[in-house]
Structure 1
Amino acid sequence: MLRLNPILTRRSLFRPQVFSRCISLKPDFSKLKLKEQPPGYVVGTVNDAYVPPEPDHFHGGYHWTYEKIITIAMIPLFITPFAAGAEYPLVDSIFSVLLVFHCRAGFESCIIDYIPKRVYGVWHKMALYLLDAATGLSLYGVYVLETENNGIFDLIQKLWGA
């Protein structure tokens, strides 16, 4: 037979229950503040071991190579419709998509340089999310331009002739 301690049961029966609320209705703006930086961003002392950043090949050394490959691939795609005098929808659409990714790489480099994650924290992520949204919207614009009109080269010819 199991006996309960009368002192413990009495205490637990008459103890007021304390509930904590999981969701607060007050907004927490502390994560939107800039992070405090030491002067010159010197962290620790000279004798501390160096902690290298995590290797990321896409955003590391290969990032510059990807940008240059896209830029060099755009040169013949840009010259072809004007030199041949004919419209090639495949060339037009490939050039348009490469142009969007070329611009995205440039803006991403600006965000990385001028809105660093170590200083701005969540604002850095928000800028990158905004860039991703703008890239998606631009790709949709390229789709509309290619399907409903004659493409970007026809648009350039009309603007040049106007």
Structure 2
Amino acid sequence: MFKSVGVSGICQRSLSLKSLSFRPFLDSFKLIPQPAGHVVGSLNDPFVPPAADHVHGSYHWTYDRLMTVAMIPLSMTPFISGIAHPIIDAGLCSLLLLHCKAGFESCIVDYIPKRVYGIWHNIAMRLLQLGSWISLYGIYVLETESNGMFEFISSIWGA
């Protein structure tokens, strides 16, 4: 009924515990090796076009230009008219944040590509998202607790 375990069985169990490694798994942090010239496949393989994604194509460029053009009158209105409206101030701050996020995201996509850097690309994108959310909270605090960004800039220039 009961099987006796001798000294050799205990030694085997202790050896298996010794062979366990408690080192962290760091292989996912290594760079992904690339083929020479970044050419995947051979010359005879047919071209496989990427899936169409209109958000990251020409529409992305159009949205970026519209954000940039929309910031011009929003930034000039309080300084010309002398009246700072909270809606104009919040709109400019939000557009400026979106514009900066799009610019940093483009830098990450260009200089930390996912096919080469793998997890580092994901980490950079997550840090950008975290920074954007913290900045959005900063805009909220600036708009609710003080008189907004225009008043802040005017106080710096007037000081």
Normalising to structure 1: TM-score of the pair? 0.83
Q: For the residues of structure 2 that align with 1:141 and 1:98, how far apart are their CA atoms?
A: 14
Match of 2:35 among 38, 41, 57: 38
* Structure 1 residue ranges (4+ consecutive) displaced by more than 6 angstroms after TM superposition: none
**In the alignment, which residue of structure 1 is the partner of 2:109?**
112
Q: For the residues of structure 2 that align with 1:52 and 1:28, how far apart are their CA atoms?
A: 35
Indicate whether 1:159 and 2:148 are aligned.
no
User: Which amino acid in the other structure matches residue 59 of structure 1?
Assistant: H
Deviations 1:136-158 (A, max 9, x none): 00000000000000000011111
- Report which of the two has the higher share of helix: 2
State how 1:64-103 maps to structure 2 within 5 Å.
Answer: 64-103=61-100
**In the alignment, which residue of structure 1 is the partner of 2:129?**
132
**In the alignment, which residue of structure 2 is the partner of 1:58?**
55
- Stretches of structure 1 that go unaligned for 5 or more consecutive residues are 1-23
Which secondary structure does the structure 2 equivalent of 1:58 belong to?
helix
**In the alignment, which residue of structure 2 is the partner of 1:11?**
none
Q: For the residues of structure 1 that align with 2:135 and 2:78, how far apart are their CA atoms?
A: 22
C-alpha deviation, 1:26, in angstroms: 4.0
Q: Percent identity among equivalent residues?
A: 56
User: Which amino acid in the other structure matches residue 105 of structure 1?
Assistant: A
Matched residues, number = 145
Normalising to structure 2: TM-score of the pair? 0.84
Q: CA RMSD in A?
A: 2.2
**In the alignment, which residue of structure 2 is the partner of 1:145?**
142
User: Which amino acid in the other structure matches residue 132 of structure 1?
Assistant: Q
User: Which amino acid in the other structure matches residue 159 of structure 1?
Assistant: I
User: Which amino acid in the other structure matches residue 127 of structure 1?
Assistant: A
Q: For the residues of structure 2 that align with 1:123 and 1:50, how far apart are their CA atoms?
A: 28
Match of 1:27 among 24, 29, 46: 24
C-alpha deviation, 1:60, in angstroms: 2.1
